[in-house]
């Protein structure tokens, strides 16, 4: 008679391997708050204090903030999100200096709301698509929105641009919708080649401006535009 062998089976606990979250590195020196992303999807919110000089850096959607998450005495903010699909949310701020946002490569979103910027606003999207929303925001000096080829969507509502305003949307099917907004300085919007859609509703132009749709089948809708009319070139 053969002896039967009995083997006990066990379950070995596997090492936990969670998907790493994106990391945004934050530093603060001499009034300049600097945020630098990585090549993962990052979402970050800047929340201002009541004085306008304190800023909390908050990671959204599991984004990790490495470095300072609170700064006192902020004058200027510089953001470079680098690769992948990112979100930058700036809300309720009073910034004495400039705000500069480079979204890097990817399909990115930038939301600025209820914010006053004492110097310059610069938004750059070098590669990919940009979805931009600016609401109830005032910029005292120049504004530059620079995007590369892609399907970009920019919406501006009830805002004031007191210095020169430049939009260079690059080539692609872009949308530019502006409602209840004042452009006190010079205005230049270059939509680039592609089938673009532009909507201007209840806007004021304080100086001669230029809106150039580039090549393509473009659409323009104007309602309640007052002040100095813009020179419009929509093929």
Per-residue pLDDT of the chain (235 residues; tens, 9 = 90+): 444 444 444 444 544 444 456 999 999 999 999 999 999 999 999 999 877 789 999 999 999 999 999 999 999 999 999 988 999 999 998 999 999 999 999 999 999 999 999 999 999 998 889 999 999 999 999 999 999 878 899 999 999 999 999 999 988 899 999 999 999 999 999 998 989 999 999 999 999 889 998 888 889 999 999 887 667 776 5
CA-based nearest residue to 135, from 158, 118, 108: 158
Per-residue CA distances from 169 to 123, 159, 174, 182, 191 (Å)? 11, 19, 7, 20, 5
Tell me how far apart the alpha carbons of residues 68 and 71 are, in angstroms, rounded to a whole number: 7
If one counts every other C-beta atom within 10 angstroms of the C-beta of residue 224, the result is 11
Instruction: Give me Rg for the CA atoms of the chain.
Output: 23
Report the pLDDT value the prediction gives residue 50, as an integer from 0 to 100: 78
Query: SS3 of 144, please?
Result: strand
Report the pLDDT value the prediction gives residue 214, as an integer from 0 to 100: 87
Rounded to the nearest 5°, which phi and psi values hold at 158? Answer: 45, 55
Do 152 and 77 belong together in one domain?
A: no
> Of 95, 111, 127, which residue constitutes the final position of a domain?
111
Tell whether 128 is covered by a domain. Answer: no
Do 98 and 151 belong together in one domain?
A: no
Do 171 and 82 belong together in one domain?
A: no
Report the pLDDT value the prediction gives residue 13, as an integer from 0 to 100: 52
Spatial contact of 140 and 115, defined as CB atoms under 8 Å apart: no
Tell whether 181 is covered by a domain. Answer: yes
Report the pLDDT value the prediction gives residue 235, as an integer from 0 to 100: 59
Do 83 and 160 belong together in one domain?
A: no
Do 150 and 225 belong together in one domain?
A: yes
Question: Domains in the chain: how many in total?
Answer: 2
Tokens for 179, please give them. Answer: 């409602």
Report the pLDDT value the prediction gives residue 82, as an integer from 0 to 100: 92
Tell whether 2 is covered by a domain. Answer: no
Rounded to the nearest 5°, which phi and psi values hold at 82? Answer: 60, -140
Spatial contact of 75 and 31, defined as CB atoms under 8 Å apart: yes
Do 146 and 217 belong together in one domain?
A: yes
Do 149 and 233 belong together in one domain?
A: yes
Per-residue CA distances from 5 to 1, 9, 10, 201 (Å)? 13, 13, 16, 84
Do 84 and 159 belong together in one domain?
A: no
Do 96 and 157 belong together in one domain?
A: no
Structural domain boundaries, residue 56: 31-111
Tell whether 21 is covered by a domain. Answer: no
> Of 111, 131, 157, which residue constitutes the final position of a domain?
111
Spatial contact of 95 and 77, defined as CB atoms under 8 Å apart: yes
Do 40 and 83 belong together in one domain?
A: yes
Tell whether 53 is covered by a domain. Answer: yes
Do 106 and 146 belong together in one domain?
A: no
Do 176 and 232 belong together in one domain?
A: yes
């Amino acid at each position: 008679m053969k002896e039967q062998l009995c083997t006990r089976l066990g379950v070995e606990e596997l090492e936990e391997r969670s998907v790493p979250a994106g990391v945004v590195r934050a530093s603060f020196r001499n009034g300049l708050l600097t945020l630098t992303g990585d090549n993962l999807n990052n979402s970050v919110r800047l929340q201002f204090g009541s004085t306008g000089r304190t800023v909390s850096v908050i990671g959204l959607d599991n984004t990790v903030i490495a470095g300072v998450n609170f700064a006192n005495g902020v004058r200027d903010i510089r953001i470079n999100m680098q690769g992948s699909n990112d979100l930058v949310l700036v809300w309720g701020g009073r910034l004495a200096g400039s705000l500069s946002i480079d979204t890097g490569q990817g399909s990115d979103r930038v939301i600025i709301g209820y914010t006053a910027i004492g110097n310059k606003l610069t938004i750059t999207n070098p590669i990919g698509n940009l979805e931009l929303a600016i609401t109830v925001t005032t910029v005292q000096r120049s504004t530059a929105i620079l995007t590369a080829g892609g399907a970009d969507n920019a919406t501006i509502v009830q805002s004031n641009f007191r210095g020169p305003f430049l939009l260079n949307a690059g080539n692609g099917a872009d949308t530019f919708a502006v409602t209840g907004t004042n452009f006190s300085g010079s205005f230049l919007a270059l939509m680039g080649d592609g089938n673009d859609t532009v909507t201007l509703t209840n806007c004021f132009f304080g100086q001669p401006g230029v809106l150039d749709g580039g090549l393509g089948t473009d659409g323009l809708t104007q309602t309640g535009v007052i002040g100095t009319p813009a020179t419009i070139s929509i093929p």
